[in-house]
Chain A
Amino acid sequence: MRLLRSSILAIAAAAMAAPATAQELKLGYVTDLSGPLAGSYTPTWEGFDIYMQARNEDGGIAGATVDIALDDDGLRADRSVAAARKQIDRNRVIGIFGLSLSSTHAATLAETRKSGVPVVTAFSAIAEALPPAQDYYYSTGVMFEMAGEAIAELTGEIAAEGKVVGVTFDSVGGRAALTHNRLAAEELGYDWGEVIFPVRTADFTPFAQSVNEAAPDVVVGHYGAEQNLGMIAALRAAGYDGPYVIASYGASEATAAQAAQQAGSDENIYMVSRFAPASEEVEGMQALRDAAAAYGVNNPTSMHVTGWVLGAVVADALERCGTECDPEGLNAALQETSVETGGLTGGPITFSGDDHYGTSYWRLYKWDGTNLVAVGDWLAKDGLDFDIESN
């Protein structure tokens, strides 16, 4: 019944569709371009955009030019859903990319699945991408639970043992990250403490002092870029001068620089990220820097790298799908993804039929006053180590 209905709709849609102008591949990008976290999401979009522009100039993908419809969701699920619907119906996109906060993903997914349009997110990810993976949903982004575990393991590069205090704000995602961080850290023999503060905290002083009082050897912050600034200023003011790790949910070298400024010192600021900062000298970075310079992006950061890698993954799938690519074809192609990034992350991005996240690579960086410098090697994470029960 549903198959019949969707076939009828598909035929009707095809009949009503205007023919694409001269070999165009239509893609959709929805993210937060104007809301409170626009500072993090916009660079990711820029990275994706300059990748596609560079490919277009270079002859296109599979002989066709890429046309991207861009929409803003202002960090709200209902607008994300409306934007997805508009892009599918009016712009006739074959795939939707980017998205913003993980709390918007499930709703948007419910909408795009109705039309069989695949979604690849760049920034955050929800556990639906892990096996057994949900149809039509892929991600190259940061998953809360995965980040928590990765950071616990990477803490070893700073201190082999001691007390780790995790800090987050009172949101479902933050708590999930903290839980996985704790489980992994305790398994590795660390002592654990945690502080959770209300989402809308403006004054971090009491929380920073609670952290300080717990006598940590390492402090890890699981929240957005902005809170890092407030927290580190408060921590240093409270008298904690030890290592502070920024978990990169949208934080980049720019965040580290601002944090150093807020803290009044460059010392002991670390960051864990899936993608390399733009200052890193690896093979794949030069192409990005050239494109950034060519298309007016100043000071690229690891957030641009995130978008760039997404672009590469999408382009690869499009190539294999061909000029007449449609949503089903793109979805099938995505399931056979294996894209080398030339050092932009620790290894290839891989998707399979069952696993739409693949092995993810994480690395610890230290702020040296001008750049983020790698500490230790890439850590490969192949699925979650801890499974928090439930239904």
Chain B
Amino acid sequence: MLPEPYQRTLLLVVSALLLCLPVILGPYGIHLMNLAMLAVIGAVGLNILTGYCGQISLGHASFIAIGAFLTATLSQRYGMPFWVTLPASCLLGALIGFVVGLPALRFRGIYLAITTLTLHYAIIYLLTAYQTAYGAAATAGIVVEPPRIAGFSLDSDLAWFYVLFAFAAATVFIGLNIARSYMGRAFIAIRERDVAAATLGINVTRYKLLAFMISAALAALTGSLTAYFTSVVTVEEYTLELAILYLAMIIVGGMGSIIGAVFGAIFMTLLPFMIDEIFQYLPRQYRYGTTLFGVQHAVIGVVIIGFLLVEPRGLIEVYRRLASYFERWPFRYREMKGG
């Protein structure tokens, strides 16, 4: 994984820096990073499904919603602690992922995307009915108490930073391992030509379903953590726009690359806030109004199109080019190995 010694040192240095990040950033910055790390978990999940396995899914937002709602229900209605709700959400996510994956076996490409879109609407419709039936208290959303460990309640941004960092790191680690394993190679084979993959002895059905299940489980985990983090679960937050945002994350980051998903997630999460900051420099009358909103939205579209046209391999490719430039320097190209 890290052939060159300098890469191992780099990893250690970067990790140490990341852990010390809260000191540099203010509480607001920490909050933003927390949002980004939540997105990382979901983005890695989507990348496994769409980037590695090639199954286009527009249903990611509904998986996140499922995780959030189950967590809210279990923790609020049944008083279950987080170490029950989190795994439970992942399991339910995997189950729903399995169900959604079934029609996927029949379809590819655009038809698959449409199928997942239909299922997204179905799930959201059911969840809306659920939230309405939950009770008058849920009109504005189900309130979720922060998770507790031995009397210590997790509700400060700083504490969340380290918790989410752990989750994100674990997710990336799992993702990288999957990518390098037989499963990952099977996924890639299916993406390239599933018919050919079948002739190579890969059980296409099983791996497609697995991809859906893993992706949905990670999405549900994101939803579950988000429920605790924002303390509120309401169905209006889980829109098609959210699903498209996640797709944008993996396109920008680089499809088929776990680290790329990390880049993409951080980039797309922070983008609206960066635009906000830029707009602050404009005179008051231009600062607000529908223009700001329009620009923030347009930017997502511009970024999608821009990356697809110019850098279809995503930010990870930019990183690789930079890395190899420094590795080769001062030479222009790599040496040939062997005779």
A-contacting residues, B98-156, CB 8 Å: 128, 131-132, 134-141, 143, 151-153, 155-156
Task: Check B235–A172 contact: CB distance below 8 A.
Answer: yes
* Chain A interface, DSSP helix/strand/loop, else mixed: helix
B-contacting residues, A32-47, CB 8 Å: 33-35, 38, 42
Q: Closest B residue to A16 by CB, please name it.
A: B26
Task: Check B230–A110 contact: CB distance below 8 A.
Answer: yes
Stretch at the interface among A85-93, A249-257, A267-275: A85-93
Residues 99-138 of chain A, each 1 if its beta carbon lies under 8 Å from chain B, else 0: 0011101110011001000000000001110000000000
Judged by a CB distance under 8 angstroms, whether B312 is at the interface is no
Residue contacts A-B, CB under 8 angstroms, 9 given: A34-B293, A38-B290, A42-B288, A78-B35, A85-B31, A89-B26, A106-B232, A107-B141, A107-B231
Contact among A1, A103, A106, A128 for B152, CB-based, below 8 A: A1
Stretch at the interface among A69-77, A239-247, A312-320: A69-77
- A residues within 8 A CB of B22? none
A106-B290 contact in complex given A89-B28, A114-B156, A172-B132, C-beta closer than 8 Å = no
Contact among A1, A5, A107, A388 for B232, CB-based, below 8 A: A107
The complex places the Cα of A259 from the Cα of B106 at a distance, in Å, of 49
Sorting the interface of chain A by its residue count into under 10, 10 to 19, 20 to 34 or 35 or more gives 35 or more
The complex places the Cα of A104 from the Cα of B153 at a distance, in Å, of 23
The complex places the Cα of A145 from the Cα of B137 at a distance, in Å, of 11
The complex places the Cα of A82 from the Cα of B229 at a distance, in Å, of 12
Task: Check B27–A391 contact: CB distance below 8 A.
Answer: no
Return B226 CB to nearest CB of chain A, in Å.
9
Contact among A38, A42, A176, A391 for B139, CB-based, below 8 A: A176
The complex places the Cα of A246 from the Cα of B135 at a distance, in Å, of 26
Task: Check A127–B136 contact: CB distance below 8 A.
Answer: yes
- A residues within 8 A CB of B237? 76-78, 103
Judged by a CB distance under 8 angstroms, whether A171 is at the interface is yes
* Chain B interface, DSSP helix/strand/loop, else mixed: helix
Contact among A5, A106, A145 for B141, CB-based, below 8 A: A106
Task: Check A389–B136 contact: CB distance below 8 A.
Answer: yes
Contact among B31, B155, B235, B276 for A72, CB-based, below 8 A: B276
The complex places the Cα of A88 from the Cα of B137 at a distance, in Å, of 27
Q: Which residues of B contact A (CB under 8 A)?
A: 26-28, 31-32, 35, 77, 128, 131-132, 134-141, 143, 151-153, 155-157, 230-232, 234-237, 272-273, 276, 288-294, 296
Task: Check B137–A82 contact: CB distance below 8 A.
Answer: no
Residues 45-79 of chain A, each 1 if its beta carbon lies under 8 Å from chain B, else 0: 00000000000000000000000001010101111
Return B82 CB to nearest CB of chain A, in Å.
16
A77-B230 contact in complex given A90-B26, A127-B137, A173-B139, C-beta closer than 8 Å = yes
- A residues within 8 A CB of B27? 85, 89
Task: Check A390–B137 contact: CB distance below 8 A.
Answer: yes
The complex places the Cα of A13 from the Cα of B32 at a distance, in Å, of 20
Task: Check A78–B292 contact: CB distance below 8 A.
Answer: no
A172-B288 contact in complex given A82-B31, A107-B231, C-beta closer than 8 Å = no
Return A88 CB to nearest CB of chain B, in Å.
8
Contact among B28, B135, B291 for A390, CB-based, below 8 A: B135
Task: Check A175–B132 contact: CB distance below 8 A.
Answer: yes
Judged by a CB distance under 8 angstroms, whether A186 is at the interface is no
Task: Check B28–A77 contact: CB distance below 8 A.
Answer: no
Task: Check A34–B232 contact: CB distance below 8 A.
Answer: no
Q: Closest B residue to A128 by CB, please name it.
A: B140
Contact among B35, B139, B273 for A172, CB-based, below 8 A: B139
Return B261 CB to nearest CB of chain A, in Å.
20
- B residues within 8 A CB of A1? 151-152
Task: Check A33–B288 contact: CB distance below 8 A.
Answer: yes
- A residues within 8 A CB of B139? 102, 126-127, 144-145, 172-173, 176
* Beyond A34-B290, A76-B237, 18 additional pairs, beta carbon < 8 A: A1-B152, A2-B153, A34-B292, A38-B290, A77-B230, A78-B35, A82-B31, A89-B27, A89-B28, A106-B141, A126-B139, A127-B136, A128-B140, A172-B138, A173-B140, A176-B136, A388-B136, A389-B136
Contact among B135, B231, B290 for A389, CB-based, below 8 A: B135
Return B289 CB to nearest CB of chain A, in Å.
6
